């Protein structure tokens, strides 16, 4: 990993190692470059909550699910051939896996890989001790305080790409940051991938809604990075979902295989809503998740051994009164910690959890659930945190204000993941000698030496005394966030791009669009 970082020529040192606070504040005013680390290298351990004995029991249950019940692979015959040749038992479309088979196949998957960004300073290392924050993904709706909830458009999509690009705390541009429903379904992916390339210079995700759209997404990266580079390096990822319980459909497996075939990373994610797509008990849902994800990850290795792949996870709970999914609740949070332990035992990079809530407003409810859920992601050791910022409304809406609040929280998590450093300066014995009992540390030498890098400084919290806050209009956090996203968009400047590449991309898109009639489903 050290080597990867050295090769990338990046600075991922904790902020306190870098330029002083004042310098950083000045840089913040001039854009994100001063504060931005390309990704976090965690300095605190993962939170491992389950005993070896219980982990083994969950793994044994996953093995029995795989061997005795099996997984259906629907409508993609080459997949069945792969499994047959690998030694699985294939009955019609049902595949049953002898114990140990998937673990054996997974040995070729890398524990860590680089996803290259078009700006090399923003390339991310995924796996190991690294943590990458990416915006939320997949909402059909967008929300803001001025206009309420409405369907997302390509303008909204570009706005969220611009907000992420402007943030010092997002490491990734994301994928379907909202559904641009004003663009025909069969052409949407072209505009989305273009927006990520044009309005951001960070790494991103491509389309998975059809094999051809996955291939178009990858083809566009070939224009940016060159064919040979793309064949040798990960430059785009695709987030593919299991059709839980225990079904992989052809849309997902053909997309998964398109990414793997091109040596690009698939993120393999079951969406298990306990009580619907999985059991209501946590240990069972985790065992299912392990079985489904191992099968998907292994399939990438059958398509192309050594292709990068991410072990993904999405546990959710349910309101058993209404049947509604619930998010940010304790069961998925605590379950994520266990999934993290299981992924590390497979030596695979982990995607887990994110900032989830059912709240329809950027209110107290939203940030309580979101914070529980997001802290679970960093505690469980997630390497790629999709859905780090923006979700409200049970994942159905991308909120401008929530994006700002979540993004600020992602900033504080940079400090959190730096942990407690212990050295002579941090231990500050000289300060105690100078100040003594009953003294004050504000003006002491140690404080003067360290205050520029001390303490996380939120951009949206209001820490002023009550009277000052009241005199300034008693503004709440959501209103401050509303002001902030508008300012950020007003000040946004697109990163430079080679005009030839831009033209080639536009040409590619124009040709693809001209070759298809609009389809709206």
Say if CB 477 and CB 405 are below 8 A apart: yes
Which of 4, 94, 459, 501 binds a copy of itself (CB under 8 A)? It is: 94
Residue 216 is a binding residue for a copy of itself (CB under 8 A): no
Residues in region 247-286 near a copy of itself by CB under 8 A:
247, 274-286
Q: Tell me how far, at minimum, the Cβ of 403 lies from a copy of itself, in Å.
A: 12
Q: Which is nearer to a copy of itself, 31 or 394 (CB)?
A: 394
Q: How far apart are CA 116 and CA 402, in angstroms?
A: 28
Q: Tell me how far, at minimum, the Cβ of 317 lies from a copy of itself, in Å.
A: 5
Any bridge partners for residue 113, and if so which? 126
Residue 454 is a binding residue for a copy of itself (CB under 8 A): yes
Stretch that binds a copy of itself, among 132-140, 178-186, 355-363, 508-516 (CB under 8 A): 355-363
Which of 345, 310, 316, 251 shows the shortest CA–CA distance to 62? 345
Q: Which is nearer to a copy of itself, 1 or 247 (CB)?
A: 247
Q: How far apart are CA 376 and CA 336, in angstroms?
A: 6
Which of 436, 473, 496, 499 binds a copy of itself (CB under 8 A)? It is: 436
Q: Which is nearer to a copy of itself, 92 or 493 (CB)?
A: 92
Q: Tell me how far, at minimum, the Cβ of 278 lies from a copy of itself, in Å.
A: 6
Stretch that binds a copy of itself, among 26-34, 175-183, 259-267, 318-326 (CB under 8 A): 318-326
Residue 109 is a binding residue for a copy of itself (CB under 8 A): no
Stretch that binds a copy of itself, among 233-241, 476-484, 502-510, 512-520 (CB under 8 A): 476-484
Q: Which is nearer to a copy of itself, 276 or 489 (CB)?
A: 276
Residue 445 is a binding residue for a copy of itself (CB under 8 A): no
Residue 350 is a binding residue for a copy of itself (CB under 8 A): no
Say if CB 187 and CB 518 are below 8 A apart: yes
Q: Which is nearer to a copy of itself, 304 or 360 (CB)?
A: 360
Residues in region 27-46 near a copy of itself by CB under 8 A:
44-45
Token pair for 296: 């998907």
141-144 and 148-151: which strand pairing? antiparallel
Q: 269-308 burial by CB neighbour count: b if 16+ within 10 A, else e?
A: bbbbbbbebbbeebebbbbbbbbbbbbbbbbbbbbbeebb
Helical spans, DSSP H, in 71-187: 77-86, 101-105, 154-166
Q: Tell me how far, at minimum, the Cβ of 329 lies from a copy of itself, in Å.
A: 5
Q: Tell me how far, at minimum, the Cβ of 512 lies from a copy of itself, in Å.
A: 34
Helix (H) or strand (E) holding 29: helix 21-29
Q: Tell me how far, at minimum, the Cβ of 206 lies from a copy of itself, in Å.
A: 27
What one-character-per-residue DSSP string does 35-50 give? T--SSEE--S-----S
Residue 52 is a binding residue for a copy of itself (CB under 8 A): no
Pattern of binders to a copy of itself over 54-93, x per CB under 8 A? Answer: x--xx--x--xx--xxxxx---------------------
Say if CB 257 and CB 299 are below 8 A apart: yes
Q: Tell me how far, at minimum, the Cβ of 274 lies from a copy of itself, in Å.
A: 7
Residue 358 is a binding residue for a copy of itself (CB under 8 A): yes
Which of 159, 176, 186, 359 binds a copy of itself (CB under 8 A)? It is: 359
Instruction: Tell me the site size for a copy of itself, rule CB under 8 A.
Output: 129
Residues in region 480-499 near a copy of itself by CB under 8 A:
481
Q: How far apart are CA 221 and CA 206, in angstroms?
A: 10
Helix (H) or strand (E) holding 141: strand 141-144
484 class by beta-carbon count within 10 Å (0-12 exposed, 13-18 middle, 19+ buried)? buried
Which of 321, 348, 317 shows the shortest CA–CA distance to 331? 317
Which of 464, 491, 507, 518 binds a copy of itself (CB under 8 A)? It is: 464
Q: Which is nearer to a copy of itself, 310 or 337 (CB)?
A: 337
Residues in region 413-432 near a copy of itself by CB under 8 A:
413, 415-416, 419-423, 425-429, 431-432
Which of 4, 304, 347, 451 binds a copy of itself (CB under 8 A)? It is: 451
Cis peptide before 245 (omega within 30 of 0): yes
Which of 80, 334, 382, 389 binds a copy of itself (CB under 8 A)? It is: 334
Residue 321 is a binding residue for a copy of itself (CB under 8 A): yes
Which H, E and C letters describe 381-414, residue by residue? CCCEECCCCCEEHHHCEEEHHHHHHHHHHHHHHH
Q: 472-483 burial by CB neighbour count: b if 16+ within 10 A, else e?
A: eeeeebbebbbe
Q: Tell me how far, at minimum, the Cβ of 327 lies from a copy of itself, in Å.
A: 9
Residue 457 is a binding residue for a copy of itself (CB under 8 A): yes
Q: How far apart are CA 461 and CA 469, in angstroms?
A: 11
Which of 464, 419, 404, 465 shows the shortest CA–CA distance to 46? 419
Which of 397, 482, 488, 509 binds a copy of itself (CB under 8 A)? It is: 397
The count of other CB atoms within 10 Å of the CB of residue 447 is 16
């Amino acid at each position: 990993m050290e080597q990867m970082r050295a090769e990338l020529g990046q600075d991922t040192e904790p902020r306190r190692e870098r330029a002083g606070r004042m310098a950083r504040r000045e840089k913040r005013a001039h854009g994100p470059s001063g504060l931005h680390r390309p990704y976090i290298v965690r300095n605190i351990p993962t939170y491992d909550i389950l005993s070896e004995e219980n982990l083994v029991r969950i793994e044994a249950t996953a093995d029995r699910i795989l061997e005795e019940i099996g997984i259906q692979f629907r409508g993609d015959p080459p997949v069945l051939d792969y499994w047959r040749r690998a030694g699985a038992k294939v009955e019609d479309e049902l595949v049953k896996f002898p114990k140990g088979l998937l673990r054996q196949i997974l040995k070729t998957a890398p524990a860590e890989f680089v996803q290259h960004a078009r700006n090399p300073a923003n390339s991310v290392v995924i796996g190991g001790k690294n943590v990458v924050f990416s915006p939320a993904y997949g909402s059909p709706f967008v929300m803001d305080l001025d206009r309420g909830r409405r369907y997302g458009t390509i303008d909204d999509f570009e706005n969220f790409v611009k907000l992420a690009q402007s943030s010092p705390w997002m490491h990734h541009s994301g994928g379907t940051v909202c559904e641009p429903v004003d663009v025909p379904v069969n052409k949407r992916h072209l505009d989305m991938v273009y927006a990520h390339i044009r309005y951001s210079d960070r790494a991103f995700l491509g389309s998975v809604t059809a094999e051809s759209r996955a291939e178009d997404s990858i083809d566009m990266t070939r224009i940016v990075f060159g064919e040979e580079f793309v064949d040798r390096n990960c430059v785009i990822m695709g987030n593919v979902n299991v059709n839980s319980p225990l079904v992989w459909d052809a849309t997902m497996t053909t997309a998964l295989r398109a990414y793997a075939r091109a040596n690009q990373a698939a993120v393999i994610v079951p969406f298990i809503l306990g009580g619907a797509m999985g059991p209501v008990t946590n240990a069972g849902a985790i065992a299912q998740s392990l079985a489904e994800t191992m099968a998907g990850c292994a399939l990438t290795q059958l398509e192309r051994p050594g292709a990068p792949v991410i072990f993904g996870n999405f546990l959710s709970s349910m309101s058993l009164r209404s049947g509604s999914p619930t998010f940010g609740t304790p069961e998925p949070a605590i379950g994520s910690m266990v999934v993290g332990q299981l992924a590390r035992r497979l030596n695979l990079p982990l995607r887990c959890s994110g900032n989830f809530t059912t709240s329809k407003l950027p209110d107290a409810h939203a940030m309580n659930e979101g914070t529980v859920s997001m802290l679970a992601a960093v505690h469980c050791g997630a390497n790629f945190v999709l859905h780090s910022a923006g979700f409200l409304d049970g994942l159905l809406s991308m909120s401008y204000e929530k994006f700002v609040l979540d993004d600020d929280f992602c900033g504080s998590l940079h400090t959190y993941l730096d942990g407690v450093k212990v050295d002579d300066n941090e231990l500050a014995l000289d300060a105690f000698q100078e100040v003594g009992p009953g003294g004050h540390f504000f003006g002491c030498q140690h404080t003067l030496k360290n205050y520029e890098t001390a303490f996380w400084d939120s951009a949206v919290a209001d820490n002023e005394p009550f009277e000052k806050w009241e005199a300034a209009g008693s503004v709440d956090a959501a209103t401050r966030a509303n002001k902030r996203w508008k300012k950020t968009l007003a000040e946004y400047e697109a990163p430079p791009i080679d005009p030839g590449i831009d033209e080639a991309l536009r040409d590619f898109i124009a040709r693809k669009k001209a070759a298809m009639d609009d389809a709206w489903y």
